[in-house]
Amino acid sequence: MDQLPIFLNVAGRPVVVLGGGAQAARRAELALRAGGHVRVFAPKAGEDFRDIRDHAHLTVLAREPAAADVAGAALVFCASGDAAADRRLQALARRAGVPVNVADAPGLCDFIMPAIVDRAPLTIAIGTGGASPVFARLLRAKLESLIPASYGRLVAFASRQREPVGKRIRDATARRRFWEWLLEGPVADRVLEGREAEATAEMERHLAAPDVTASAPSGEVYLVGAGPGDPDLLTFRALRLMQRADVVLYDRLLGDAIMNLVRRDAERIYVGKRSKEHTLSQDEITALMIRLAREGRRVLRLKGGDPFMFGRGGEEIEHLAAAGIAFQIVPGITAANGCAAYAGIPLTHRDHAQACVFVTGHGQKDQVDVDWKLLLQPRQTVVIYMGLGRLAELTREFLAHGADPALPAALIENGTRANQRVLTGTLGTIADQAAAAAIKGPAIIILGTVVTLRDKLVAPD
């Protein structure tokens, strides 16, 4: 983060604006909307001030501002269009320790003005650290169309209930759940429709239920597939549950880009495994999930790819079910799908493969435990997960079982991520290529003639 976003209270406080043109008018108007007492220094407040000229808290002074004008101000805006004049006031503000913004001169600014979506009391501020104000504005336009005007009403409704609800639900966790229920459920619908009396009645009915105010509501486990790495590949449901969890159990396959989307104040527990040194055994992980859920927490078990694809999700839910813990399963894009798409290799194709099998190159008891006959079928694509560690051994076995050394092969490392690498070759060459390129993984291997399609589908760099 390049700058610290904050919401500043300027109500009743002096805000100094230098300039009489459009930029100055825009800043004066925002400061007035936030309740500031705005003093504009300009020979004349021009046409752009017409909507605010008669505002009770706007004063126009036809002189240069002096140190005394700046002292005690909440903020100073320099927007005169005259660089020297702006600079003089900027220096005064700096000396007085008052945060200053100079239009079109990010280097002189203590703060920059975000693009704003105003649904007061709901306010969204978007900044790009000065890198691209136009992008911030485009994003604002998107949000404007996404966020109904009535959301402001919903936030105002919640604000009025805050004190009474705080008195009735003492437990912080129970209270957060109540607010989530209120803001996402039928009460919110009523408020957004403008039927506040019905909303209040609905809320009262809910508050009367005995377990709403209880301090230990029953917990739940969310078994969520997070996809292969690009956060854009998360499902909406995954994101929703990631935002709702109290505690997250995660492993090494998940990058920061995805972890940053988990609710900020959720507790994070690393339960990752490397193929040799296990941090927590599978049984310990399952026991931990059960314990946390029994404490009433919403436990997010976040998994790379899809939870049921070589992810031991099946084993975990067996235990949860046996322990009587409620759970939800959210599918994710598995590595094979994500990597194939991002590498430009279709897994099936009318001219190449009518079938596709996903196998693990990592056997149960440290042995490659593969049905070679099943894999060595013509017109079939084979995707190998967890095969990097013994790629040389695997390819040797393939050849020993009669596979063609010229069979096209691809290896995709860090698929769908910014650091994705793709190697293409043949069954006979791919292990040496991986070693030469110092591939570390995670990586999948794709075998089959579909690999040759990549050259047609992917534009050269």
Name the residues that contact ligand SAH, by CB under 6 A: 228-229, 253, 303-306, 309-311, 334-335, 339, 385-386, 412, 414-417, 441-444
CA distance 81 to 208: 61
Strand partners, 143: none
Q: Specify the residue, 298 or 417, whose C-beta has the smaller distance to ligand SAH.
A: 417
Secondary structure (3-state) at 184 = helix
Q: Take residue 216 and report the two structure tokens written for it.
A: 């230990």
Residue 142 known to be catalytic: no
Residue 51 known to be catalytic: no
Q: How many of the other CB atoms lie within 10 Å of CB of 412?
A: 27
Q: Which of 368, 458, 377 is nearest to 410 (CA)?
A: 458
User: What letters, b where the CB count within 10 A reaches 16 and e where it falls short, cover 116-149?
Assistant: ebebeebebebbbeeeebeebeebbeeeeeeeee
Work out how close the CB of 388 gets to ligand SAH at its nearest, in angstroms, rounded to a whole number.
7
Work out how close the CB of 348 gets to ligand SAH at its nearest, in angstroms, rounded to a whole number.
18
Q: Specify the residue, 183 or 261, whose C-beta has the smaller distance to ligand SAH.
A: 261
Q: Specify the residue, 74 or 254, whose C-beta has the smaller distance to ligand SAH.
A: 254
Report the number of secondary-structure helices (H) and strands (E) in the chain. Answer: 17, 17
Q: Specify the residue, 3 or 235, whose C-beta has the smaller distance to ligand SAH.
A: 235
Work out how close the CB of 415 gets to ligand SAH at its nearest, in angstroms, rounded to a whole number.
3
Among residues 48, 69, 86, 251, the one annotated as catalytic is 251
Work out how close the CB of 345 gets to ligand SAH at its nearest, in angstroms, rounded to a whole number.
12
Phi, psi of 359 (to 5 degrees): -130, 160
Q: Specify the residue, 153 or 417, whose C-beta has the smaller distance to ligand SAH.
A: 417
Q: Specify the residue, 19 or 361, whose C-beta has the smaller distance to ligand SAH.
A: 361
**Are 91 and 35 spatial neighbours (Cβ–Cβ below 8 Å)?**
no
Among residues 110, 118, 171, 273, the one annotated as catalytic is 273
Work out how close the CB of 442 gets to ligand SAH at its nearest, in angstroms, rounded to a whole number.
4
Secondary structure (3-state) at 170 = coil
Q: Which of 337, 268, 327, 342 is nearest to 304 (CA)?
A: 337
Strand partners, 61: 41
Q: Specify the residue, 65 or 229, whose C-beta has the smaller distance to ligand SAH.
A: 229
Tell me how far apart the terminal alpha carbons of the chain are, to the nearest angstrom: 31
**Are 101 and 112 spatial neighbours (Cβ–Cβ below 8 Å)?**
yes
Give the Å distances, CA to CA, from 174 to 25, 146, 184, 189, 227.
46, 30, 15, 21, 31
Q: Specify the residue, 370 or 444, whose C-beta has the smaller distance to ligand SAH.
A: 444
Q: Which residue is nearest to ligand SAH (CB)?
A: 305
Q: Specify the residue, 90 or 424, whose C-beta has the smaller distance to ligand SAH.
A: 424
Work out how close the CB of 395 gets to ligand SAH at its nearest, in angstroms, rounded to a whole number.
15
CA distance 418 to 252: 17
Q: Which of 292, 159, 157 is nearest to 220 (CA)?
A: 292
Work out how close the CB of 397 gets to ligand SAH at its nearest, in angstroms, rounded to a whole number.
17
Give the Å distances, CA to CA, from 6 to 9, 123, 277, 383.
10, 11, 43, 48
Work out how close the CB of 290 gets to ligand SAH at its nearest, in angstroms, rounded to a whole number.
21
Distance from chain centroid for Cα 31: 31
Work out how close the CB of 354 gets to ligand SAH at its nearest, in angstroms, rounded to a whole number.
23
**Are 227 and 305 spatial neighbours (Cβ–Cβ below 8 Å)?**
yes
CA distance 80 to 16: 12
Return the active site residues.
251, 273
